[in-house]
Amino acid sequence: MFIDEIAARMARTDGVARAADLLAAGARRSDLRRCCAAGQLHRLREGVYALPTALEDVRTAAVHGGALACVSALRRHGVWVLDADGVHVWLGGKGRRHAHPQCACVGHWDAGAARPGVVSVARALVQLAGCQGAEAFFVAYESAWRLGKLTGRARAWIRDHLDAGMRYLVDIARPDADSGLESLVRLRLGRLGISLRAQVPIEGVGTVDFILDGRIILEVDGRENHDGESKRHRDLGRDARALALGYIPLRFDYAQVLYEWSIVEAAILGARETLGRRSLRPVVGATRRV
Ligand SMILES: [Zn+2]
Ligand SMILES: [Zn+2]
């Protein structure tokens, strides 16, 4: 078998394959040796090969003994995920971990037979739920759905394979979340009984990130902010105009929303209380469009 045929076959499994599968497809051991000698194939470990183009984390998973899985696989599929350490590897129900230098892999042993490569989005989502919890699952699930990576059948399969206590997450998920941040904030606010709308245009203010309960504006500065003083100047103006219209603007940075939610939540609840009190008085001259 020529390298072109071997490469085409391996491309279907993300550039990595077991020798047994290549031999079963018609390659000979001498073909594999010849390709390795020419640098067209890399031998990762006994019986596992990679194309030179195979991605680093896919190789690591294959060296470790399985397929790229869970959060690592979702990242590879282009799905938005919360931060997580390590290369997550599916070893199959009875798979064996292979020692290798600088191993910081996180093993998964859910049932099935793992082959080198990248697990499907649906399987990776179920793995993520068990590994990283409800919030990590929910944001990734909504992202995958929005990206068109989940068919109705896949969504049903995921629901069936989740722990019973997590199935409600599939039931409340939506296919139109603008960002992972929106998914996360909506899930957390939903637990408090607070409704949310994302990317809402307000005349005189501009398009705001989120409106809560129709009156509280929640703005979240991006992961990276290089705008400095001019952005701060603009934001102060926006907040002042929002207040003048009867909204309560709250502004946090991305890390605060992700990692210091208790502060954000306390501010939102405080703003609701303030609004409750304020609604006892007539507001003169305020135009509300929400
Ligand atoms: Zn994991
Ligand atoms: Zn490892």
Domain boundaries, the chain: 1-54, 55-172, 180-278
| Bridge partners, 275 (sequence order) | none
Nearest to 210 by CA among 183, 175, 231: 183
- Look at residue 229 in the predicted model and tell me its pLDDT: 77
DSSP class of residue 148? T
Residue 275 has pLDDT above 90, yes or no: no
Fold of 180-278: Endonuclease; Chain A (3.40.960)
Determine the distance separating the centroid of ligand 2 and the alpha carbon of 252, expressed in angstroms: 37
Determine the distance separating the centroid of ligand 1 and the alpha carbon of 239, expressed in angstroms: 40
pTM of the entire predicted model: 0.86
Instruction: Report the phi/psi class of residue 102: left, alpha or beta, with left for phi > 0 and alpha for psi in -120 to 50.
Output: left
225 band by pLDDT with thresholds 50, 70 and 90: low
Answer whether 139's CB lies under 8 Å from 74's CB. no
State pLDDT tens for residues 100-131.
999 999 999 999 999 999 999 999 999 999 99
Nearest ligand, measured from the Cα of 99:
2
Amino acid at 252: F
Nearest ligand, measured from the Cα of 84:
1
Nearest to 130 by CA among 101, 85, 164: 164
Half-sphere exposure (Cβ direction) of 7: Cα atoms closer than 13 Å:
13
Percent of the chain exceeding pLDDT 90 equals 79
Residue 19 has pLDDT above 80, yes or no: yes
- Look at residue 13 in the predicted model and tell me its pLDDT: 92
- Look at residue 226 in the predicted model and tell me its pLDDT: 58
Residues 6+ apart with CB under 8 A from 136: 71, 81, 82, 84, 128, 129
Residue 14 has pLDDT above 90, yes or no: yes
State pLDDT tens for residues 22-41.
999 999 999 999 999 999 99
Determine the distance separating the centroid of ligand 1 and the alpha carbon of 106, expressed in angstroms: 6
Residue 274 has pLDDT above 70, yes or no: yes
Mean pLDDT of all residues belonging to the chain: 91
Determine the distance separating the centroid of ligand 1 and the alpha carbon of 199, expressed in angstroms: 32
Note the helical H segments in the chain: 3-11, 19-24, 29-37, 56-64, 70-76, 121-132, 134-146, 152-161, 167-172, 180-191, 229-244, 254-259, 261-278
For residue 288, with 0-12 CB atoms within 10 Å meaning exposed, 13-18 middle and 19 or more buried, which class applies? exposed
Residues 6+ apart with CB under 8 A from 15: 50, 51, 53, 54, 55, 58
- As residues whose CB is below 5 A from the ion ligand 2, the structure lists 64, 103, 105
- Look at residue 30 in the predicted model and tell me its pLDDT: 93
Least confident of 160-164, 252-256, 264-268: 252-256
- Look at residue 285 in the predicted model and tell me its pLDDT: 47
